[in-house]
Structure 1
Amino acid sequence: MIGLYKVKPRSGLLAEIDRKTPLQTDYVEPIAAAVRQIGGLLGHTLHSIYISGDVAQRCAGSSADFEFTLVTSRALNVQEYTSLNTIRWRIEQSSDVVKRVEFDVVPLKDVTALVNIFKWGFFLKHCALCMSGDNLADSFGHFEVSWEVSKAMNDDLAGKLKDLRQKVAVATKWGSQLDAAEEAAKRLIKAAFGLVASKEGRWEHDLQICADVFLVSYPEKNVEIERLFYLIQRKPVKKRAVVALMDDFGQWVLSEYARIDRKIG
């Protein structure tokens, strides 16, 4: 993984992903096709397209989620979101390497707002690759891992968990339930790692590494982490157990963020 990153500008600052390293071969054409479809739909409303997750890290297996961030010149309307959902379905059906497609749409003014620098600045600089348009990562310097970064990168956890909990609750097919449970588990592990990232002075993307680093400080949460990985492995678990794990561990993580924030503040 070291070869994917540029040399750090100075000690303590994180390196950004090397834009010159090609994507894994199997993902090149599906990503290119997705970018063409997104651009064709949004036209001049689209400022830039980014991809994150395993594909951006060049560590995807035989299939992976396509996690796109779309920066737009304005907020999209209902019709445009409906069309994006159609494109999502087409991309998911286009290739066996595509597990799921996720679109995070954010207006340009939100990305460039100073108040959001620890969220969007950090994300674009250190967690995403620009696939189309003007690369906003060039607008930001390198970051170091800080508590502000951890908070900003997980500030939507409560809302995301609420939505995923609902998806689990109303799912009538195993596939839908497993998708929501897997996403919730991944988010919870990353959020758990965020609790210790600044103390450890590191930022990780690999879920197993995130969990291992977290458990050094919170060994009493080993059972919960094991259960989250059970969901990531997409093994069938009764809804009641999935919801209970999401509620209990999710609330603990959120409470711990609040506790640490009060302590630091």
Structure 2
Amino acid sequence: MYKNKPRGGLLPELDNERPFQPVYVEPIAAAVRQIQSAMGAELFHSLYLSGDVARREAGETADLSLLFVCTRALNVQEYAALNTVRWRIEQSSDAIKRVLIDVVPLKEVTNLANIFRWGFFLKHCAVCLSGDNLSKSFGHFEVSWEVSKAMNDDLAVRLKDLRHKIAIATKWGPQLDAAQEAAERLIRASFGLVAHKERKWEFDLKPASEAFLSHYPDKLLEIERLFYLIERKPVKKRAVVALMDGFSAWVESEYAKINRKIG
């Protein structure tokens, strides 16, 4: 999974040369081909893979989590083309549960103000599939409060979008997708509250939640309910939204409290 770990408590980076699990090789290759074709050479800078598939730890099925770095911000038509690519890849392989494509302009990645967000992510959480590998521009990181803040600074915006998707969903599929993603993001954000104390970074949700609960045992019920959503159990919209709103408000207040204390 990783290259040799650097000295001094710095985190390792994923091994870019290690082969992917066979069942995911073709979907990954298809994603590279189709995104390059849809976006064109002038718009395409680089493409990265994260998650279980990038770590070569995926089961028989998994999400394909991609980050597309573009030379400029996309317009509506280009986002639509990317969404078509996403749908095609999802339909092409039974091994792929969902294709998640995040988009970020190059100037945002290279902005020094975002080094704890994109520098950390590219160096330690992703592998480059195609293009100019930006991770080579960054040194190794250690787990810190700055990293935790940066990796979760878009939580409110993401949850607002997912909340809207749940509200307008007319079928279980889209509602379960949005609820699952919201729960995953909330658990990762919860772990961000304690990562600097644990001095490690957890990628898997179970150990991340366990580390969080070792510091906040009174939040066990909320974590159990979030895992219920991750398991894609049907829950009424009102209950899902209430859980999202209540727990996210608490998480954000804890971030502010710790930031005042540390920052």
TM-score (structure 1 length as normaliser): 0.97
Name the counterpart of 2:211.
213
Q: 2:242 aligns with which of 244, 249, 256?
A: 244
1:24 to 21, 36, 42: 21
Distance 2:124 2:237 in 1: 35
* Alpha-carbon separation, structure 1, partners of 2:204 and 2:85: 28
Q: CA deviation at 1:32?
A: 0.2
SS at match of 2:194: helix
Is 2:94 the counterpart of 1:99? Answer: no
Deviation (angstroms), 1:247: 0.5
Extract unaligned runs of 5+ from structure 2. none
* 1:6 aligned to which of 3, 7, 14: 3
The amino acid that maps onto 1:102 is: L
TM-score (norm 2): 0.98
Task: Name the SS of the counterpart of 2:143 in structure 1.
Answer: coil
Structure 1: segments with no counterpart, 5+ residues: none
- The answer for the alignment partner of 1:137 in structure 2 is 135
Deviation by residue 1:229-259 (Cα, 9 ceiling, x = unmatched): 0110111111111111101111100110011
Give the CA deviation at 1:8. 2.0
Report the Cα offset of residue 177 of structure 1: 0.9
1:84 deviation in Å?
0.8
CA deviation map 1:130-158 (0-9, x unaligned): 00011110000000001000000000000
CA distance in 2, matches of 1:50, 1:180: 22
- 1:188 is aligned to 186
Identity %: 70
Structure 2 counterpart of 1:120, one-letter code: W
Partner of 2:130, secondary structure, is: strand
Q: Deviations over 1:66-85 (max 9, x none)?
A: 11101111111221111111
Aligned residue type for 1:172: T
Measure, in 2, the Cα distance between the counterparts of 1:25 and 1:69.
21
| Distance (Å, rounded) in 2 between the aligned partners of 1:18 and 1:206 | 18
RMSD of aligned alpha carbons: 0.8
For the residue of structure 1 that corresponds to 2:99, the secondary structure is strand
Equivalent AA in structure 1 for residue 100 of structure 2 = E
* 1:20-60 Cα deviation digits (max 9, x unpaired): 21111100001101110001111221110001111111111
Distance 1:109 1:154 in 2: 20
Output the amino acid matched with 1:143. F
- Structure 1 position 11, deviation (Å): 2.1
2:173 paired residue number:
175
Q: Secondary structure at the match of 2:98?
A: strand
Count of matched residue positions in the alignment of Structure 1 and Structure 2: 262
